[in-house]
Amino acid sequence: EFMSPGGSIKDRAALYLVKDAEEKGLIRPGGTVVEGTAGNTGIGLAHVCRSKGYKCVIYMPDTQSQEKIDLLR
């Protein structure tokens, strides 16, 4: 997992979520993925969305570290 773009096991989960949404027709090219997260799933999702050309909006609790917030921006 350390070789994943985000360095997390959650990268694989994020890729599965996006691929599943594509296969079900829930997201189209140029679409937007919205996720509520407190951690690495959002980072993985941001990487996957960027690589596939989707917009990604992440909602995080105010209690998250500034480092994580900055990484997702």
Distance in angstroms (rounded) separating the CA atoms of residues 10 and 61: 18
24 catalytic per annotation: no
Catalytic residue among 10, 52, 55, 68: 10
Residue 38 amino acid letter: A
Annotated active-site positions, please? 10
